[in-house]
Structure 1
Amino acid sequence: MKHFDEAATRAPLGFERLVPALRTAFAGQAQVPPRHVHGIETAAQDGSSDNVNDVIKGTVLIMPAWSDAGFLGIKTINIFPGNSARGLPGLHATYVLYDARTGVPLALMDGNEITARRTAAASALGASFLARRGARRLLVLGTGRIARMLPAAHASVRPIDEVRVWNHRPEGAEALAAQWRAEGWNAQAATNLEAAVRQADIVSCATLATAPLVRGGWLAPGSHLDLIGSFTPAMREADAHCFAGARTFVDTDEALQKSGDLLDAMAAGTLRAQDVQGTLASLCRAENGTGRANDSERTVFKAVGSALEDLTAATLVWQSRDNP
Structure 2
Amino acid sequence: METLLLDAETVEDNAPMGPLVDAVEAAFAAYERGDATMPPKSYVDLPQYDGDFRSMPAYLDAGDWDAAGVKWVNSHPHNRERHGLPTVMGTMIYSDPETAVPLAIMDGTTLTTRRTGAAAAVATDHLAVEGASSLGLVGAGVQARAQLEAIATVRPIETVVVADADAERAAALVDAVRDRFDARAGSVAEAAACDVVSTTTPVRSPVVDTVGDRTHVNAVGADAPGKHELADDLLAAAKLVVDDREQCTHSGEINVPYGAGRLTDDDVHAELGAVVTGAATGRTPEDGVTVFDSTGLAIQDVAAAHVVYERAAAAGAGTSVDLLGLTRESA
Partner residue in 1 for 2:284: 293
* Superimposed CA distance per residue, residues 77-123 of structure 1 (whole angstroms, 9 cap, x where no aligned partner): 22344567687644211111122334332211111111001000000
* Matched residue type, 1:111: G
- The alpha carbon displacement at 1:305 in A equals 0.5
Deviations 1:220-261 (A, max 9, x none): 211111111211112222221221221100012233432353
Give, in whole Å, the separation in 2 of the partners of 1:122 and 1:255.
15
Gaps of 5+ in 2: 316-331
Q: Which of 206, 228, 231 is the equivalent residue of 2:200?
A: 206
Partner of 2:189: 194
- 1:195 is displaced (CA, Å) by 3.5
Where do 4+ consecutive residues of structure 1 move more than 4 Å? 81-89, 267-270
SS at match of 2:202: coil
Are 1:320 and 2:314 counterparts?
Answer: no
State the alpha-carbon separation in 2 of the partners of residues 113 and 11 from structure 1: 10
Which residue of structure 1 aligns with residue 38 of structure 2? 32
Residues 3 and 109 in structure 1, CA contact (< 8 A), matched pair in contact too:
yes
Aligned to 1:305: 296
Residue-by-residue CA offset, 1:130-187 (whole Å, 9 max, x unaligned): 1111211111122222111211111111111011112222211111111122x42221
The Cα of 1:211 is off from its aligned counterpart by 2.4
Code of the aligned partner of 2:227? M
Task: Give me the whole-angstrom Cα distance separating, in 2, the residues matched to 1:155 and 1:9.
Answer: 20
Aligned residue in 1 for 2:322: none
CA distance in 2: counterparts of 1:84 and 1:241, whole angstroms? 36
Summarize the Cα distance change of 1:297–1:261 in structure 2 as closer, same or farther, 3 Å threshold.
Answer: same
Conserved 8 A contact 1:222-1:295: no
Q: Does 1:150 align with 2:147?
A: yes
Q: What SS class does the counterpart of residue 64 from structure 1 fall into?
A: strand
User: For residues 82 and 204 of structure 1, do their structure 2 counterparts lie closer, same or farther at Cα, with a shift above 3 Å needed?
Assistant: farther
Encode CA deviations 1:40-73: one digit per residue, 9 max, x unaligned. 4346xxxxxxxxxxxxx43432100123555321
223-232 vs 61-70, which deviates more? Answer: 61-70
Matched, 1:3 2:5: yes
| Alpha-carbon distance change, 160 to 83 in structure 1, aligned in 2, over 3 angstroms | farther
Change (3 A) 1:34 1:13: same
Query: Matches of 1:100 and 1:158 in 2, distance apart?
Result: 35
Corresponding position of 1:67: 60
RMSD, aligned CA: 2.2
Residue identity in the other structure for 1:281: G
Consecutive unaligned residues in structure 1, runs of 5 or more: 44-56
Contact 1:240–1:261, Cα closer than 8 Å, also in 2: no
The size of the alignment, in residue pairs, is 305
Pick from 247, 252, 259 the counterpart of residue 251 of structure 2: 259
Q: Which residue of 1 aligns with 2:326?
A: none
The answer to whether the aligner puts 1:19 opposite 2:38 as a matched pair is no
Q: Give the superposition deviation at 1:297.
A: 0.8
* Paired letter, 1:204: S
- The DSSP-based 3-state class of the residue aligned with 1:257 is helix
Q: Please state if 1:106 is matched with 2:98.
A: no
- TM-score normalised to structure 2 length: 0.85
Instruction: Give the TM-score taking structure 1 as reference length.
Output: 0.86
CA contact (8 A) 1:114 1:310 kept: yes
CA distance in 2, matches of 1:58, 1:235: 17
Q: Aligned partners of 1:268, 1:80: CA distance in 2, in Å? A: 28
State how far apart, in whole Å, the 1-side matches of 2:261 and 2:39 are. Answer: 30
Residues in 1 aligned to 2:285 and 2:97: alpha-carbon distance in whole angstroms: 43
| Segment drifting more, 33-42 vs 228-237 | 33-42
* SS in structure 2 of the partner of residue 287 of structure 1: coil
Contact 2:248 2:294 in 1 (8 A): no
